[in-house]
Structure formats: C-alpha cells, structure tokens
Structure 1
Amino acid sequence: MNPPGHASGDEPDTWHLLQAVTTTSRANIVADIVGHPKGAPSVDELAKTNPSLEKDTIRGHLSVLKEVGVVEELVIPAGERTRGYPYKFYRLTERARTLFDSNDLFPESAWKRQYARLTRDAELRELERMPRPAPEQEHGDDPETEATAD
C-alpha cells in the first residue's frame, strides 16, 4: 500500500497534486509563480505579493507544493550568492504545468497580465531583476547555506 498522496513508486498522484493547489493561499502562490516575469520567484517576492502571509507560512506552503510535485526549487550555488539576497527560487514542475494546461488551470497569459498590474515598490523591482539559476545549475540543499533571505 502506498502512503497517502503517492501513486506507484514515490511520485505523488494527480489527485493529491491538484488537492494541494485548492487552498486559497497555495493557489495564490501558484498563480504568482505562473505570473512572475521570470517564472521563478523567491520567498521574498512571494511575501510581497501575498502580504497577508508570513514568510514562514509561505515556506510551509512551498514545502507542501514541492512534496506533491507542483513546484521545484532552484538554488544558486553557495559561491555565487550575494549576501542578503535570495538564493532559492521556485518554479512549476513540467508535470504540474502540463496538468494545469490540460485542465485550463492557472493559464499563464492571464496570470502574467494579473501580475503585471501589481504596484511594485523599489525592493520588489530589484528582486525581480535578480538572475535565476537555470535548472541544470541546481545543487539542492547545501551545507554552506547562509541564514539570510531565501
């Protein structure tokens, strides 16, 4: 018998993937990821676009979304980080994007238009300009991780 949320093997099943994005907060986070100009916001950016949520709450939602295969984490390697700036970014997995597209969920063009309407302060504009690591640059969790913004 598989644990809840997992089909054969260790991959979460489609039902649990969809269930994870049905809470309002997680749906808002997913919509912000989809609408983000670079498709991979940091927790700091998500906190700006979801002011009613604390950063730790956002991290918790991202953890759930990662666990069921909705998002993946992109990490800037330790030697390439800028102190005080985010080094973790979150984007949709290919599986989630395919599933959402086939069910008309989180249409990219609509959420990009919505995101473009946001009023951006100087900090958010600066965060948006940060380069994101390419998926092949990922190094996962690093023991030299700084205790600064993610």
Structure 2
Amino acid sequence: MAEISPHSNADREENPLERQRELMELLSQETRHSIIQTLLGHPAALASADEINHFIPNKSRKTVQEQLEALVEAEVLTIYDYPPNKDTRGLPWKFYGFTERGADILGDFNYLKGVPIARAVHQKTRKPKKIKRHETAPRPPLPEPVRVTFRIDKKEA
C-alpha cells in the first residue's frame, strides 16, 4: 500500500514541490506505473482486474491488487461498477479507470503523450479468450472530462 506521509494535507498544499515529489513517487513505483500504462493503453480506459493482471504477468495478483488500492486511495483511479454484467457469467462488472483528478495528474506529468503508443502495444498484445471477452464487455460511461482526456467516443465507453 502507499505510504502515508507524515505531512498534513495543508503542508502539501503549501509546498507544491513536496506535493509534486509525492505524486511522482506514487506514479513511478514499478507496479503502479505498469497499472497506469495498462489503463492508458486500454481502448476504453477502463479495465477489469483480470485484464490488468494479464498485462502485468511478472507480479502476483495480490501485489497488483494492493497497488490498485493505493491508486484508488490516492484518487488517481476509481472503481466503476456496471451492475448489468453481474448476472452474466464470464463478464466483469467492476472496472478500474482514472478519476478526473487522475487524468489531470497524468496530464501534468506528460503521461498522456504516450497514449497512442500504449494503445498500439495493447492492440498488438496477444490476449486469451477470457481477456478478449473482458476487453469487449459492456462497461459504464466515463465522466465527460475523463472521456475527453482519453479521446474515448461515447459509443465506445
């Protein structure tokens, strides 16, 4: 899990360099960085835990889950539920995706420039049937600012 800083939120707001350092540390940790890259490459910018785990094969499911939780706790990611999939066997109903804050942070740190490359890598990566099924599963719409940031058409989301 992400370490809790001994500095209060007020300290971070008063010291933008400290806030920037903490964000860079959050984004650059190996597993969290891989999660972010996986989501940047996803055609819908929303991925199930199984999809994320598929793209990070060198880490345990537990490690990936812990780092997903750290990114959710930091409000970079959130969980988007899609209840209609709950009753359909083999389809995910929980998806991880960026928050508006997360999209802003990625913009500030120039991660968004890599979206075309990440999408090309994602598209060319071999995926088993289960992951293909997850990738094409119906999912909830992203908030408008996030959708626009990642250039996701309404019909795709």
Q: How many residues align?
A: 131
Consecutive aligned runs of 4 or more in structure 1 exceeding 3 Å deviation? none
Distance 2:129 2:37 in 1: 22
1:114 match: 121
What is the Cα deviation at residue 14 of structure 1? Answer: 4.5
Show CA shifts across 1:4-62 (max 9, x none).
27624xx9x55433321211111011100111111110111111111122222211110
Q: 1:133 to 1:19 in 2, by over 3 A?
A: same
Note if contact 2:46-2:96 (Cα within 8 Å) is conserved in structure 1. Answer: yes
What is the Cα deviation at residue 68 of structure 1? Answer: 1.1
Which of 48, 51, 59 pairs up with 1:53?
59
Q: 1:130 to 1:99 in 2, by over 3 A?
A: same
1:131 match: 138
Note if contact 1:17-1:70 (Cα within 8 Å) is conserved in structure 2. Answer: no
What is the Cα deviation at residue 102 of structure 1? Answer: 2.8
Distance 2:61 2:46 in 1: 16
Q: 1:16 to 1:6 in 2, by over 3 A?
A: farther
Note if contact 1:34-1:92 (Cα within 8 Å) is conserved in structure 2. Answer: no
Note if contact 2:47-2:96 (Cα within 8 Å) is conserved in structure 1. Answer: yes
Alignment of 1:16-95 (within 5 A): 16-77=22-83, 80-81=85-86, 82-95=88-101
2:148 match: none
Where structure 2 has 5 or more consecutive residues not aligned to the other structure, the ranges are 14-18, 144-157
Q: Which has the higher contact order (CA 8 A, sep 6+)?
A: 1
TM-score between both structures, scaled by the size of structure 2: 0.71
Aligned CA RMSD, in angstroms, stands at 2.5
Distance 1:103 1:51 in 2: 26
TM-score between both structures, scaled by the size of structure 1: 0.74
